[in-house]
Amino acid sequence: MFRMGSIRVNTAACVPISIMVIWTISSIGCNRDARTIAAAQLSKEGGVRLIYEIDTARMRPGQQVNVQRLTDVVAHRLATELHENRFVTAGPGQAVTVLITGDDPAEVATVKKLLAAQGVLEFRIVADPNIDDSLIKIANRTSGAARPQDEDASRANEIHLDLIKMAEEDKTSALIIGGNERARWTPIAAEDQAAAVKDPNLVTRRAADGVLQKLVIIGQERFRWVTNPMLATGPGAGHLAIAPDNQCVSRTGPGGVNELLVLISPIYVHGNQLTSARVGSDANGNKVNFSLNAEGARQMLALTSRNLPVQGRARRIAILLDDTVLSAPTVQSAISDSGQITGNFTHDEVKWLVMILNSGALPSPLRKQPVREEHLPPGSTL
């Protein structure tokens, strides 16, 4: 059974949702009806304008900013029920503006909480001290992630086999998984081609133009320390702690934040593979029921089937939202296209999670608080 442990989402970020956005101008063209409604309501009731900037410090290296796409996703996230008092526009510059008509502080707080989360969902295997000892030793010596150098793909390296299979099936010049480049086909120098074709472990192919290429595995992080609210008290700065069940490793990270060590592998499940998330409940409490697309089902099946209990010992799978642990249940059986996120959640917390998951992750992270907040009196204009 795929069960969560007893863990609460941060209640400060979990609120009931009851308002719909007026769609962004940019997402549906110049929507005169939306502008007219927003202008009329602003003139009559006043409102609050929130300006959010992109948090470049939290962006991945090389990540591109698409303000238009970001604006659309923000609008979709805020569009939950049939109310027309939120208006989302792109700009100024690399920012997104949200206009909330009316004078309701609780509603303004709700919008802020909805936009505080980027909404990146991941399912990752938790490092096990009995299996991942060498990696844990590396993790104990670094404050960040371990990223090895790029290397030629080798059929003799078991770690490479999944990526080799996916790259050969993909047929493109670069294998992209979860928005990250994991492998790349590169030309082989003329003087090295004779030796390359004789190497049984080197992965090669002929490109459309006839050039001989080899597959290169892009160096990736091998582990990550993630925020772990499940741990009430950390082991202290500079120290690792083994959980009582000996199934995970934690530490006190920068700023005194408790952290859990998870493994980074090409076999994982991410939020873009969800097709739906739904509010559910049973005798055990509130839960989120989710379904995956075909790609996500394949990844979830691979992730869980490769980490089934061995000699009675079960591995844990961390369910992460924005690198924060929602829970870390043990993998008891293989699952594929559907599952549950359960825990000690209130109904409102589950509604918040469902809304975040269904709206999808923001393509670029926003600062957690608006950089400008303007209170507009009745009679104001757009």
CA distances from 262 to 168, 223, 259, 319 (A): 28, 6, 10, 10
Beta bridge partners of 320: 122, 325
What pLDDT does residue 5 have? Answer: 35
Q: Residue written as tokens 């609780």?
A: 106
Q: Distance (Å, rounded) from C-alpha 82 to C-alpha 100? A: 14
Please, is 269 exposed, middle or buried when counting C-beta atoms within 10 Å of its C-beta (0-12, 13-18, 19+)?
buried
pTM (whole model) above 0.75? no
pLDDT of residue 148: 62
Least confident of 15-19, 127-131, 345-349, 367-371: 15-19
Exposed / middle / buried, residue 236 (Cβ in 10 Å: 0-12, 13-18, 19+): exposed
Residues β-bridged to residue 96: 52, 90
* pLDDT of 339 strictly over 80: yes
What is the model's pLDDT at position 35?
Answer: 76
Task: For 271-327, write each residue's pLDDT tens digit.
Answer: 999 999 999 988 888 889 999 999 999 999 999 999 998 887 888 999 999 999 888
State residue 188's pLDDT score. 94
Q: Are 119 and 362 in contact (CB under 8 A)?
A: yes
pLDDT in tens, 10-34: 322 222 222 333 344 333 334 557 7
What the chain holds in terms of domains, given with CATH numbers, is 11-118+362-376 (3.30.70), 121-144+222-359 (3.30.1360.200), 151-217 (no CATH)
Q: What is the pLDDT of residue 146?
A: 53
pLDDT value for 23:
40
